[in-house]
Structure 1
Amino acid sequence: MAEKRKIRVLLATIALLPWLVTAPPASLAATPVNPSTSAEQTEEQVLLSHATTQSYDRQSWSVIGSQREHRVKGRESLLEIARDYGLGYREIAMANPALDPLLPGDGAKVVIPGARVLPEAPFGHGILINLAEKRLYYFFQEGEENLVITFPVGIGATDGETPPGDFTITTKLTEPNWTVPLSIWQKRPYLQRVIPPGPDNPMGSHALQLSQSSYFIHGTNRPWSIGRRATHGCVRLYPEDIPLLFRITPLQTPVRIVRQSLKVGVRMDEIYVEVHPDNSMSNSDYLLRAQELLQQKNLVESADLGRLLNAVRGKRGVPVRIDQERRELRAEGDDRAPGGNKL
């Protein structure tokens, strides 16, 4: 397992090298910081992000990525496989409900749900966090090209939900201390009030603070929590993802946190809907929302009501094709997308 991990790190390094040695465009230039590297780094801390940049067009190509398959090797768990493909736990578990998350079994076929409909965003440059799918999208532009990078995230649990709303990035911290909130410290008074950087610090290596709040987007020392409701309101990323987001996100970047349980997108003449479970919504609520989005995009006449109903009932959390052309969503994604560069 360790040898396989080293090979993956090497391949990721090769893929990242051209991007890392090139200064980011002015619009992406992060505020200079003085990162301090820990004297001892674990293997997990030196992993590189599997995130990719992808082009999109709101009018003609707003479904990105592709679905893939993976064959389990030995005692691999779905948690390990999810991380290797830039997924959160919930995403891979929903796509593979018949498999044991801890021991799916040598040779088992695992569906990798890498395709997704882009959420509705009010900007061309900024961060959008969709609580319904536990995923963060970073939209930006290079010249006239619209680009997006997306990361799985952990969000607030029921006793400390991540608040929806509009924010900006006001502070960027490397190797942050964690000041234990009073509400947590009262329940666990044995904790230090301030946790220094290191393996016991739940904020990880980097943190981005949101305006008008005590909430952060940060790393984690518990990577298995990504894709779950597991925080006290903050948004956490894999240890290998947060340095990348930190680097490309300038101060004052807008952040919008939403709950979009249903999304509609297009891929040329194909229409897709992506539906996520939401206990606050009935099937009628989903259908009303779908109708609103289809009308906004002038797609009502091209949509198939029967396929839409099946997608709403299934709530699979992956793009499902609903236009009147009776073809199934391909297992392998269409490579005709306008761009898509490995970071």
Structure 2
Amino acid sequence: MLTLEEKIQIRPPASGKTAIRPLSLSACVLLSSVLAGCQNMPFTGTMEALSLSSPKQQHIASHDFQLTDGQNIVGTLATIDTRENDTLPDIARHYGLGYNDITIANTQIDPWTPRPDSRVLLPLRFILPEAPRKGIVLNLANMRLFYYPPNQPDTLFTYPVGIGRQGWSTPMGSTRIVAKRANPTWTVPASILREHAQKGDPLPKVVRAGPDNPLGSYAMPLGFPGYLIHGTNKPYGIGMQISHGCVQLYPEDIEVLFNKSKVGMPVRIVHQPYLTAWDQDMLYLEAHEPLKKWARQKPKLKKKLHKDLKKISKAQNVTIDWEKVDRIVERADGVPTPILAGSPGITELSTAAVQLEHPDQLYGQPVVADLKESDWAVLAGTFDNENDAQQLAVMLSHQGPPIPARKIEKDGAYQVIAGPFKNKKEVKTVAQRIHMDFELDAKPLEPGAIN
């Protein structure tokens, strides 16, 4: 029985052997029942043009930054080359990015099965939202939280978040943290109980702390009744509209934020898809596609952006490249890009990005144990295409809680086998999860059934 606040779903095609469509969460294929408003805007940079001659760095700032007086932009663009078995979600998590961050900046790369040695752009430069720098500021448009510690005006922490999906929007406005709870119990709201019951996925009224609790290990209720900032047992949903309105962080990030935050700390939630900032003598624009709730307001938002830029142009006596502004708004990839006449474009920015060494192990990357003959397992699906099988296997391993899986070639086809599991009961539970999350008829396999 599923006791998750959200699901990652893929749907099989209408005909042929069980197969998975080529997927891209940035194209809104995954999370079909829970994600609304994700964007797939093309990244027009020429990744092949990135310089190969610069020495690679081992580390880069991604979560905490030092601010100077008046500074409104932090961070650095970077790149990394993929290795065998990498996924974009694994890379995103390791470097403090969300799913949407990394996929809209790398639309030419399959998120779940990238080819080895693919060059991935890490959009690790952020323009700060326009809001008082006190406590927590959350910008829904780029699904990112900014934390300004009390009495430390020169310090900033920033984390990607998951937010409310369409119909369960995260509220905007000013509020506060009203409580802090480690190892929280989740009392399931009646509306969520009804939603899951209608899907044939009934939930208990109370979910205790543990791997099935969608709140994760830490929760901080807000002054908005029923809304929290909390962890998650499905970390690969961070950077998406996936929750029932709460704000979710990676488990490792919520632990840091939980320990730094205090009851009573202010929280301001805004929606600012277009952000501008000066860095030395260069004016930057960071653009995100407005969330679906604000889609009809896009013309108005663009008009306001143009009005604000005209004021800047007049006040600073600078010339803005208006065609470039429109291209950045249309691209909406979240990469801060200079907009003054004659300024560098996205290709030049990509070429100058810091190149990173690949770590020995990406943080949190699933490791799938070998299957023994005595293990119980689940046949999740059979595929004609090897990439489809690998995609499902990887996605199962990234579920929350994880479903360890691998592809196995057999009789000219590719099977996805999940396991190892301890007993028949566990196998039935996993098969039901796969059916609910992926709409696939998973088949339990007794010990010795895998040849």
1:127 aligns to 2:127 (yes or no): no
Tell me how far apart the structure 2 counterparts of residues 315 and 308 of structure 1 sit (CA, whole Å): 11
Q: Which of 146, 151, 168 is 1:160 aligned to? A: 168
Aligned residue number for residue 289 of structure 1: 305
* Cα distance change on mapping 1:294 and 1:130 into 2, 3 Å: farther
Tell me how far apart the structure 2 counterparts of residues 180 and 300 of structure 1 sit (CA, whole Å): 53
Secondary structure, aligned partner of 2:154: strand
Aligned residue number for residue 310 of structure 1: 327
- TM (norm. structure 2) is 0.59
Tell me how far apart the structure 1 counterparts of residues 247 and 155 of structure 2 sit (CA, whole Å): 22
1:319 aligns to 2:346 (yes or no): no
Deviation of residue 83 (structure 1)?
A: 0.6
Aligned residue number for residue 172 of structure 1: 180
Aligned residue number for residue 148 of structure 2: 139
Aligned residue number for residue 338 of structure 1: none
Report which of the two structures shows the higher radius of gyration computed on alpha carbons: 2
Amino acid at match of 2:336: P
Aligned residue number for residue 274 of structure 2: 262
- Computed over aligned residues only, the root mean square deviation of the Cα atoms, in angstroms, reads 2.2
Write out aligned runs for 1:29-178 (5 A): 51-57=62-68, 59=70, 61-122=71-132, 124-140=133-149, 142=151, 145-178=153-186
Tell me how far apart the structure 2 counterparts of residues 130 and 226 of structure 1 sit (CA, whole Å): 14
* Cα distance change on mapping 1:89 and 1:81 into 2, 3 Å: same
Tell me how far apart the structure 1 counterparts of residues 313 and 64 of structure 2 sit (CA, whole Å): 25
Secondary structure, aligned partner of 1:90: helix
Q: After superposition, what is the alpha-carbon deviation per residue over 1:194-215, rounded to whole angstroms, capped at 9, x for unaligned?
A: 1000000000011111114110
Tell me how far apart the structure 2 counterparts of residues 283 and 301 of structure 1 sit (CA, whole Å): 26
Deviation of residue 317 (structure 1)?
A: 1.5
Deviates more, 1:180-189 or 1:258-267: 180-189
* Cα distance change on mapping 1:58 and 1:317 into 2, 3 Å: farther
* Cα distance change on mapping 1:248 and 1:196 into 2, 3 Å: same
* Cα distance change on mapping 1:202 and 1:298 into 2, 3 Å: farther
Deviates more, 1:204-213 or 1:175-184: 204-213
Tell me how far apart the structure 1 counterparts of residues 263 and 123 of structure 2 sit (CA, whole Å): 32
CA contact (8 A) 1:141 1:147 kept: no
CA contact (8 A) 1:283 1:312 kept: no
Deviation of residue 309 (structure 1)?
A: 2.4
- TM (norm. structure 1) is 0.77
Tell me how far apart the structure 1 counterparts of residues 92 and 226 of structure 2 sit (CA, whole Å): 30
Deviation of residue 162 (structure 1)?
A: 0.5
Deviates more, 1:279-288 or 1:128-137: 279-288
Aligned residue number for residue 384 of structure 2: none
Tell me how far apart the structure 2 counterparts of residues 306 and 317 of structure 1 sit (CA, whole Å): 18
CA contact (8 A) 2:135 2:150 kept: no
Q: Which of 194, 198, 223 is 1:211 aligned to? A: 223
Tell me how far apart the structure 2 counterparts of residues 151 and 293 of structure 1 sit (CA, whole Å): 28
* Cα distance change on mapping 1:177 and 1:298 into 2, 3 Å: farther
Amino acid at match of 1:136: L
Tell me how far apart the structure 2 counterparts of residues 192 and 300 of structure 1 sit (CA, whole Å): 60
Write out aligned runs for 1:264-283 (5 A): 264-278=276-290, 279-283=295-299
Aligned residue number for residue 41 of structure 1: none
Secondary structure, aligned partner of 1:324: coil
Secondary structure, aligned partner of 1:170: coil
Q: Tell me, which stretches of 5 or more residues in structure 1 are unaligned?
A: 1-49, 335-343
1:235 aligns to 2:238 (yes or no): no
Deviation of residue 53 (structure 1)?
A: 1.8
Q: Which of 349, 355, 373 is 1:330 aligned to? A: 349
